[in-house]
């Protein structure tokens, strides 16, 4: 019963569910599961084959041992002949030793192959995820992706790896025990086999209900975990808004749903065991009754009956094991469906066959009439006809309203995506002709959200150059202003920063990220809203190391905060194209992917914050429609007549160059 309950609980982590709680048929067939994942067993198949051999050997030893038990009963116990005991007794001991050794070897070798398969498949799925654009993970729940890399991969292994070994050995055991029973008494064996369908019918009936109950448990468990994750991650917000009781009630509500689903599973698993036990008892009573009749008629010995009963005791669990394989198949089908979905996701970009490695470049960046829309969002393009050049060593500030496509520029430069129109060039070479690895060695990005790992300060600084010496790490830390506060940490550079760097303040995290960029020493630097979340005083402190980092590098600063624009920087603005202009471009035959975003550049450099702000205002979001002429004066009681709006000032399809 406990085994069945564990199987049902394990299944609850796997099965798909609908809103009504009914099971959804797995989208992936058994054949496709093996076709997709059997190649991952290459090199491990000898281990699985050896596991089958040892398991079969152990089953054969059990068959022979039971035969010896019957012989001892008839030839020693019934006749009271002690001299006939020792040879079969030692033979039985030898068989038990061989069976034990074979069982151990088979279990260990199978586990070795299974764990290596798990490691290989998980590495394969994770490696594929690393080739996908960052937006793939950002659009999905992190917990769901982690479940695919753990539970779903394990479910596949239980079918393709150790599950296959179990299926073969269980089927072999059924054949061996049934064959041995036929050798003892074929008529009793026929009676035994006639009762086997009862096990299969019960297993099928309960399996269908298990799937529904497991689906409900999985749905409620996922909802409860989401509440826990959100409540713990947003604990400062919960406490600041005095919502602790509301979150507790929310968790309790989801917990009660999960409790009811678990009770449904417990009811089924608790009922399944007694039903199977009753069927086994009925079968055993029938066999013993028929056997007693045969003994009374002198056609069967007591030893033969006991041996037959022993074979029966091993045969029925093996038959049950075959029935439980349906649970494993359903579990693996649901898991493989989710894993195949990840593996079928195609990277947004790949290296061209003739791609060349870029050496250490000068850092000249050019966007040439670039248009781009994210996959699946063709109706809302992110960029249209964007053109600008950032010369080596120049600081270029890109500003504009939220959603204007500023961060998209960094993604195109790093080749997370390729533009739908136009070209992105690094030192005159189209980035599509460069290998992604060499391209990204020439570009360093400070993301809007400071990204740190849970290692030490030293680990995070050296992340871009793992082979850097301690002296190089310290020099980078001094440049970024990290060295001073590191001296006050308990373990210096070996101090853990906590998950996502939460043991450090916002300014400290940002300076560690700057030190990481300094150590990487790439010719192109992209700063994506580097002051997000920092107060004015902390931002001013961070600007000093940022200024040292920008020195001698082509710097693209993406920001909407013009207070932090460096003196002498050139500013360009991005603005959305208004709806009526998109309609005009559509009528003019401009492709749909090129209608929503327009780049506006300023050729001259701007010095000072006021000039920069004026430059951005001149190319910022399109203003509200202006009246054609000043409104007529209105009398004290006469309302002003409405005026027709003027057509807004919009760029032509070829782009905008809003100079000073």
Q: Choose among 423, 168, 186, 472: nearest CA to 321.
A: 168
Residue ranges of the chain that CATH labels 3.40.50.300: 363-442+532-624+645-660, 450-521
Q: Is the pLDDT of residue 636 over 60?
A: no
**The pair of three-digit structure tokens given for residue 632, joined into one six-digit string:** 């007529």
Which CATH superfamily is 363-442+532-624+645-660 part of?
Answer: P-loop containing nucleotide triphosphate hydrolases (3.40.50.300)
**The pair of three-digit structure tokens given for residue 94, joined into one six-digit string:** 């030898």
Q: Is the pLDDT of residue 620 over 60?
A: no
Q: Are 394 and 570 in contact (CB under 8 A)?
A: yes
Predicted local confidence at residue 535, as pLDDT: 63
The pairing of beta strand 421-426 with beta strand 395-399: unpaired
Predicted local confidence at residue 326, as pLDDT: 65
Q: Are 257 and 223 in contact (CB under 8 A)?
A: yes
Spatial distance between the Cα atoms of 19 and 40, rounded to a whole number of angstroms: 34
Bigger pLDDT: 12 vs 134:
134
Residue 215's pLDDT band (boundaries 50, 70, 90)? low
Q: Are 99 and 61 in contact (CB under 8 A)?
A: yes
Spatial distance between the Cα atoms of 410 and 154, rounded to a whole number of angstroms: 37
Predicted local confidence at residue 199, as pLDDT: 75
Express as a percent the part of the chain with pLDDT over 90: 8
pLDDT (tens digit per residue) in 74-101 = 777 777 777 778 888 888 888 889 989 9
Q: Is 618 exposed, middle or buried (0-12, 13-18, 19+ CB in 10 A)?
A: middle
Minimum mean pLDDT among 430-439, 484-493, 498-507: which range? 498-507
Predicted local confidence at residue 602, as pLDDT: 39
Full DSSP string of 339-400: HHHHHHPPPS----TT-B---S----EEEEEEEE--TT-TTS-SEEEEEEEE-TT-EEEEE-
The pairing of beta strand 554-558 with beta strand 421-426: unpaired
Residue 305's pLDDT band (boundaries 50, 70, 90)? confident
pLDDT (tens digit per residue) in 349-372 = 888 888 888 888 888 999 999 988
Spatial distance between the Cα atoms of 579 and 583, rounded to a whole number of angstroms: 6
Residue ranges of the chain that CATH labels 1.20.1560.10: 2-344
CA distances from 522 to 307, 358, 519 (A): 78, 12, 9
Predicted local confidence at residue 53, as pLDDT: 93
Mean pLDDT estimate for the chain: 75
Bigger pLDDT: 84 vs 426:
426
> For every residue of 282-350, which 3-state class applies, written as one string?
HHHHHHHHHHHHHHHCCCCCHHHHHHHHHHHHHHHHHHHHHHHHHHHHHHHHHHHHHHHHHHHCCCCCC
Minimum mean pLDDT among 43-57, 278-292, 499-513, 607-621: which range? 607-621
Other CB atoms within 10 A of residue 357 CB: 11
Own/partner contacts of 96-102, CB < 8 Å, gap of 24 or more, are: 96/61, 96/65, 98/57, 98/61, 99/57, 99/58, 99/61, 99/62, 99/65, 100/58, 102/54, 102/55, 102/57, 102/58, 102/61
Sign of CA dihedral 483, 488, 490, 495: negative
Cα 108 from chain centroid (whole Å): 29
Other CB atoms within 10 A of residue 462 CB: 23
**The pair of three-digit structure tokens given for residue 560, joined into one six-digit string:** 């909407």
The pairing of beta strand 597-600 with beta strand 524-528: unpaired
Predicted local confidence at residue 538, as pLDDT: 67
* Residues 375-408: b if buried by 16+ CB within 10 A, e if exposed: eeeeeebbbbbbbbebeeebbbbbbbeeebbbbb
Spatial distance between the Cα atoms of 486 and 512, rounded to a whole number of angstroms: 10
* Residues 571-608: b if buried by 16+ CB within 10 A, e if exposed: bbbbbbbbeebbebbeeeebeebbbbbbbbbbeebbee
Q: Is the pLDDT of residue 344 over 60?
A: yes
Q: Are 156 and 339 in contact (CB under 8 A)?
A: yes
Range picked from 250-259, 261-270, 287-296, 635-644 for highest mean pLDDT: 250-259
Minimum mean pLDDT among 33-42, 150-159, 235-244, 573-582: which range? 573-582
Cα 232 from chain centroid (whole Å): 21
Range picked from 66-80, 572-586, 608-622 for highest mean pLDDT: 66-80
Which CATH superfamily is 2-344 part of?
Answer: ABC transporter type 1, transmembrane domain (1.20.1560.10)
Spatial distance between the Cα atoms of 174 and 153, rounded to a whole number of angstroms: 29
Other CB atoms within 10 A of residue 301 CB: 19
Whether domain 450-521 has CATH 3.40.50.300: the reply is yes
Predicted local confidence at residue 281, as pLDDT: 80
Residue 108's pLDDT band (boundaries 50, 70, 90)? very high
Predicted local confidence at residue 577, as pLDDT: 53
- Is residue 243 left, alpha or beta, with left meaning phi > 0 and alpha meaning psi from -120 to 50? alpha
Predicted local confidence at residue 628, as pLDDT: 35
Predicted local confidence at residue 186, as pLDDT: 80
Q: Is the pLDDT of residue 315 over 90?
A: no
Predicted local confidence at residue 580, as pLDDT: 54
Q: Are 650 and 630 in contact (CB under 8 A)?
A: no
End-to-end Cα distance, the chain:
81
Bigger pLDDT: 97 vs 182:
97
Q: Is the pLDDT of residue 17 over 60?
A: no
Predicted local confidence at residue 136, as pLDDT: 81
Q: Reduced to 3 states, what is the DSSP secondary structure of residue 554? A: strand
pLDDT (tens digit per residue) in 526-549 = 888 777 666 676 666 677 777 778
Q: Is the pLDDT of residue 179 over 50?
A: yes
Q: Is the pLDDT of residue 489 over 90?
A: no
Spatial distance between the Cα atoms of 23 and 224, rounded to a whole number of angstroms: 20
Minimum mean pLDDT among 54-58, 398-402, 637-641: which range? 637-641
Q: Is the pLDDT of residue 311 over 50?
A: yes
């Amino acid at each position: 019963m406990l085994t069945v309950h564990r199987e049902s609980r394990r299944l609850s982590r796997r099965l798909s569910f609908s809103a009504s709680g009914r099971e959804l048929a797995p989208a992936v067939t058994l054949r496709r599961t093996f076709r997709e994942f059997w190649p991952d067993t290459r090199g491990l198949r000898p281990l699985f084959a050896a596991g089958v051999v040892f398991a079969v050997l152990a089953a054969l030893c059990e068959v022979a041992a039971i035969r010896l038990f019957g012989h001892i009963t008839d030839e020693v116990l019934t006749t009271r002949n002690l001299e006939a005991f020792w040879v079969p007794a030692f033979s039985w001991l030898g068989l038990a030793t061989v069976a034990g050794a074979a069982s151990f070897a088979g279990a260990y070798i199978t586990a070795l192959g299974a764990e290596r398969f798990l490691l290989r498949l998980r590495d394969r799925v994770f490696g594929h995820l690393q080739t996908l654009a960052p937006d793939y993970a950002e659009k999905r729940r992190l917990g769901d992706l982690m479940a695919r890399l753990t539970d779903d991969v394990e479910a596949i292994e239980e079918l393709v790896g150790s599950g296959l070994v179990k299926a073969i050995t269980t089927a072999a055991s059924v054949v061996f025990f049934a064959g041995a029973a036929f050798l003892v008494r074929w008529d009793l064996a026929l009676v035994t086999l006639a009762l086997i369908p009862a096990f299969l019918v019960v297993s099928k009936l309960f399996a269908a209900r298990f799937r529904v109950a497991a689906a409900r448990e999985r749905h409620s468990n996922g909802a409860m975990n989401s509440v826990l994750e959100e409540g713990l991650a947003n604990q400062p917000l919960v406490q600041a808004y005095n919502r602790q009781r509301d979150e507790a009630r929310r968790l309790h509500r989801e917990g009660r749903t999960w409790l009811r689903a678990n009770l449904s599973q417990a009811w089924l698993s608790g009922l399944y065991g007694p039903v199977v036990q009753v069927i086994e008892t009925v079968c055993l009573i029938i066999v013993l009754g028929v056997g007693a009749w045969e003994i009374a008629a002198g056609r069967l010995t007591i030893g033969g009956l006991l041996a037959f009963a022993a074979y029966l005791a091993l045969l029925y669990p093996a038959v049950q094991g075959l029935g439980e394989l349906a649970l494993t198949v359903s579990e693996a089908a649901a898991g493989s469906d989710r894993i195949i979905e990840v593996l079928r996701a195609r990277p947004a970009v790949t290296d061209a066959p003739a791609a060349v490695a870029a050496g250490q470049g000068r850092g000249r960046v050019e966007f040439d009439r670039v248009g781009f829309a994210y996959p699946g969002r063709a109706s809302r393009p992110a960029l249209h006809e964007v053109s600008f050049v950032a010369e080596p060593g120049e600081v270029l500030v890109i500003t504009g309203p939220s959603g204007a496509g500023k961060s998209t520029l960094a993604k195109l430069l790093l080749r997370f995506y390729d533009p739908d129109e136009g070209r992105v060039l690094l030192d005159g070479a189209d980035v599509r002709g460069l290998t992604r690895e060499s391209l990204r060695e020439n570009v360093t990005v400070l993301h809007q959200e400071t990204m740190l790992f849970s290692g030490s300060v030293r680990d995070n600084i050296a992340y871009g150059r793992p082979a850097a010496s301690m002296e190089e790490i310290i020099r980078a830390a001094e440049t970024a202003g990290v060295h001073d506060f590191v001296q006050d940490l308990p373990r210096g550079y070996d101090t853990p920063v906590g998950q996502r760097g939460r043991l450090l303040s916002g300014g400290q995290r940002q300076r560690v990220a700057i030190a990481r960029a300094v150590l990487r020493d790439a010719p192109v630097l992209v700063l994506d809203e580097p002051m997000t979340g920092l107060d004015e005083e902390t931002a001013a402190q961070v600007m000093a190391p940022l200024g040292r980092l920008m020195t001698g590098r082509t710097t693209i600063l993406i920001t909407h905060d013009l207070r932090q624009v460096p003196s002498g920087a050139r500013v360009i603005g991005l603005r959305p194209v208004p709806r009526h202009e998109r309609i005009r471009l559509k009528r003019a035959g401009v492709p749909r992917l090129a209608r929503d975003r327009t780049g506006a550049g300023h050729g001259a450099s701007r010095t000072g914050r006021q000039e920069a702000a004026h430059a951005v205002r001149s190319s910022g979001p399109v203003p509200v429609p202006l009246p054609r002429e000043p409104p007529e004066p209105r009398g004290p009681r006469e309302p002003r007549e409405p005026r027709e709006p003027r057509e807004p000032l919009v760029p032509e399809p070829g782009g905008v160059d809003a100079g000073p």
